[in-house]
Amino acid sequence: MPGTPDQKEIAQGKPVENTNSYKAREHSRRAVLRATLFGGLGTLTSGVLGACSRSPEVTSQPQPATAPSTGTPEATLFQNPRGTATIVSRPKIATIIPTATLNPPEALTPTPEYVQGLTHLQEVPKPNEALKKTTIDMYAKTMEIDAKEVEVGISFSELKDENGDYFVTAVTLDETPLLIYHPMKNTWVEAGPRNLADLQNFTIQVPSRVDYLSLRNVPNIEKTANQLFSASELNTSVVFRNFETGDWRKIIDTWTTIKSDLDQGIIPEGFNFNWNDANKFVDFATSHQMKVRALHLLWGGDVPDSIYNGDFSPKDVEKIVEFTVKARVLRYNGTVDGRTISEWHAADEIAATHLYHHNDKWSFWLEKLGYPQATIKVAKWAKEANPNASLVIAEDSILHLRQDRANWKSNFFNLLKFIKDREVPITKVDVENNLWIYDPPKLDEMISILRRIQAMGFEIGGSEATVATSDTSPDWVYQDKMRDVKDKTIAQADVYGDILSAYLAVGAKEWGFGSPSDRTEYFDDIGYPDANSTIFDDQELPKKSYYRILKVLYQNLKSSQG
């Protein structure tokens, strides 16, 4: 059209001569804008231009006007008070009148997505709502309290792990940790015993059997422990279950060849070993990044009938035991197929077996090998098969024996002295704590005995703790009720808390459970289905004892902060 700028020329940035008609039209258009914008709105600078000055499209120098394009706001040239051209995006007249969105009120500020009030870590995301709700609901149900009250009381705390790195915990009012966030993992996870143990370089053990691993308590094993120990997979009666008396006689008759193979690190051929259960056990631990400990190289409760009924002399039995010890340790020294077990129980419950002969079969090994010499022999053979193996001696009930069992305790400490005096390569003591809520040990009593063991030069091993809640004790050591109990679940939690506290108080670096859950506990196997001695019930749900363990581990972390 004559007298108007050519749109193509405008788009190309060419100078355009403004005709009178164009000026008139432009003057009229600006008048409309001024009337619309300034009527009752104050100055343009504090309104529209104030908003425009925050736009990334603003430039400080005049720019050539550009022609409108489809789907893009029309470019408009406004003259600011200083005469400097400023390009802004001009919306349609119908929508240009400012609303509350131009200066949003404080109430519309987005809720922060990060945990507030932290000192050392920044931009820690808030816990996933689904994880948070699930964890709080389970805790509230177990502790029999209102979930909303738990949620309101949740606070966030920063602590340092074993390496000095900060992490965050979500804790309840009574300082039970429920969730953990560590920058290394960059996600919130449930504060299970294993996670809390890993943060302080502490080992928590749980036993397993191949049949346990096929059940649905596997998730609980994973979140509870960072070390798995064999319940039976490496017993003499399991690995050598296919051996008959004739096989043992063959070993004795060809002992020179058999021993030569063993001394060269070779497992003799021609025998039907059962490694399947042990392989599955080791594979499970490895796949879940768990350490492994093996029981039992020598235990009174593990005597195959094919040996017991074989009419073997003490010298014959000594050859048989050397064979069984070396074959197992060699099989898992890492040279066969990579499967490795680096910690073995050289002897279990030897002091008790020496004193209390439950039956002739139970005391069979000691009668044939001698007491306490049997311990020395087994330790020697295990070290020959794997010089790098760590050896443990285990004994039951030592932390809590009444006066009528005082000879048991003294017999055990005499055994430890015998081991030390002869430099037997056993470095660790595992005390089995099969306790009962009606006759619990005192905290200071346990601490005193643990320190006595340490003073003899031994490390403190895992505890194999169980706390029975049945009206009758499943353990032959404790039979008389020594107190009344109002709430069994709270009483059990108190005992579990005391056992773990005792181990932590003496600086022990490991502790453990005697069974994975009430559904798979050892006491079921010996006729006490109502013992309910673990921290998970028959439905694999956590009990109050579970949360007491979390609380004690958390308190230990807090006390270790430098």
What does the DSSP assignment read for 224-252? H-SEEEESSTT-HHHHTTT--HHHHHHHH
Q: Is the pLDDT confidence value at 41 over 80?
A: no
Residues 480 and 451 in one domain: yes
Residues 406 and 544 in one domain: no
Residue 170's DSSP bridge partners are: 156, 179
User: What are the residues whose beta carbons fall under 8 Å from the beta carbon of 51, sequence distance 6 or more?
Assistant: 98, 102
CA distance 224 to 351: 30
Instruction: Express each pLDDT in 168-191 by its tens digit.
Output: 999 999 999 999 999 999 999 999
Q: Given phi > 0 = left and psi -120 to 50 = alpha, else beta, which region is 536?
A: beta
Environment class of 216 (CB within 10 Å of its CB; exposed 0-12, middle 13-18, buried 19+)? exposed
Amino acid at 337: D
pLDDT of residue 209: 76
Specify if 511 maps to a domain: yes
pLDDT band of residue 479 (cuts 50, 70, 90) is confident
- Nearest-CA neighbor of 392 among 436, 432, 449, 362? 432
Q: Is the pLDDT confidence value at 506 over 70?
A: yes
Contacts of 312-318 with C-beta under 8 Å, sequence gap 24+, read 312/248, 312/252, 312/368, 314/368, 314/369, 314/370, 316/248, 316/252, 317/365, 317/368, 317/369, 318/368, 318/369, 318/377
Instruction: Express each pLDDT in 331-384 by its tens digit.
Output: 999 999 999 999 999 999 999 999 987 678 999 999 999 999 999 999 999 999
Residues 251 and 388 in one domain: yes
Residues 347 and 445 in one domain: no
Give the phi and the psi of residue 9 in degrees, each rounded to 5. -65, -35
Q: How many domains does the chain have?
A: 4
Q: Rounded mean pLDDT of 275-302?
A: 95
No. of helices (H) and no. of strands (E), the chain:
22, 16
CA distance 26 to 372: 112
Cβ(328)–Cβ(234) below 8 Å: yes
Specify if 26 maps to a domain: yes
Q: Final residue of a domain: which of 142, 169, 191?
A: 191
Q: Final residue of a domain: which of 373, 402, 430?
A: 430
Lowest-pLDDT range of 81-90, 105-114, 241-250, 505-514: 81-90
pLDDT band of residue 532 (cuts 50, 70, 90) is very high
User: What are the residues whose beta carbons fall under 8 Å from the beta carbon of 342, sequence distance 6 or more?
Assistant: 291, 292, 386, 388, 389, 390
User: What are the residues whose beta carbons fall under 8 Å from the beta carbon of 107, sequence distance 6 or more?
Assistant: none
Specify if 118 maps to a domain: no
Cβ(419)–Cβ(426) below 8 Å: yes
Specify if 344 maps to a domain: yes
pLDDT of residue 357: 72
52: number of Cβ within 10 Å: 19
Q: Is the dihedral of CA 407, 506, 516, 430 positive or negative?
A: negative
Mean pLDDT estimate for the chain? 85
Cβ(261)–Cβ(267) below 8 Å: yes
Q: Is the pLDDT confidence value at 478 over 50?
A: yes
Q: Is the pLDDT confidence value at 419 over 70?
A: yes
CA distance 296 to 283: 19
Q: Is the pLDDT confidence value at 73 over 50?
A: no
Amino acid at 225: A
**Alpha-carbon distances of 233 from 183, 236, 294, rounded to whole Å:** 38, 9, 8
Residues 408 and 267 in one domain: yes
pLDDT of residue 294: 97
Residues 388 and 516 in one domain: no
Residues 410 and 482 in one domain: no
pLDDT of residue 470: 96
Q: Is the pLDDT confidence value at 319 over 50?
A: yes
94: number of Cβ within 10 Å: 7
Instruction: Express each pLDDT in 18-30 by its tens digit.
Output: 444 444 444 454 5
CA distance 157 to 246: 65
User: What are the residues whose beta carbons fall under 8 Å from the beta carbon of 470, sequence distance 6 or more?
Assistant: 528, 530, 531, 532
- Nearest-CA neighbor of 425 among 346, 526, 525? 346
Specify if 255 maps to a domain: yes
Residues 399 and 444 in one domain: no
Cβ(342)–Cβ(351) below 8 Å: no
175: number of Cβ within 10 Å: 14
Q: Is the dihedral of CA 496, 499, 501, 503 positive or negative?
A: negative
Residues 291 and 397 in one domain: yes
Residues 388 and 456 in one domain: no
Residues 402 and 299 in one domain: yes
Q: Which domain holds residue 87?
A: 7-108
Instruction: Express each pLDDT in 426-451 by its tens digit.
Output: 999 999 999 999 999 999 999 999 99
pLDDT band of residue 7 (cuts 50, 70, 90) is very low
Tokens of 84: 């400097």
CA distance 299 to 325: 12
CA distance 171 to 185: 19
Specify if 124 maps to a domain: no
Q: Final residue of a domain: which of 396, 413, 430?
A: 430
pLDDT of residue 112: 64
Specify if 215 maps to a domain: no
CA distance 387 to 12: 86
Give the domain CATH number at 243: 3.20.20.80
Q: Is the pLDDT confidence value at 275 over 90?
A: yes
CA distance 446 to 130: 41
Query: Percentage of the chain with pLDDT > 90?
Result: 73
Residues 368 and 388 in one domain: yes
User: What are the residues whose beta carbons fall under 8 Å from the beta carbon of 284, sequence distance 6 or more?
Assistant: 208, 213, 228, 290
The better pLDDT of the pair 24, 146 is held by 146
pLDDT band of residue 210 (cuts 50, 70, 90) is confident
Q: Is the dihedral of CA 162, 164, 169, 174 positive or negative?
A: positive
Q: Rounded mean pLDDT of 108-137?
A: 90
177-182 and 187-190: which strand pairing? antiparallel
Specify if 208 maps to a domain: no
Give the phi and the psi of residue 327 in degrees, each rounded to 5. -60, -40
**Alpha-carbon distances of 392 from 286, 343, 347, 356, 516, rounded to whole Å:** 21, 7, 7, 22, 21
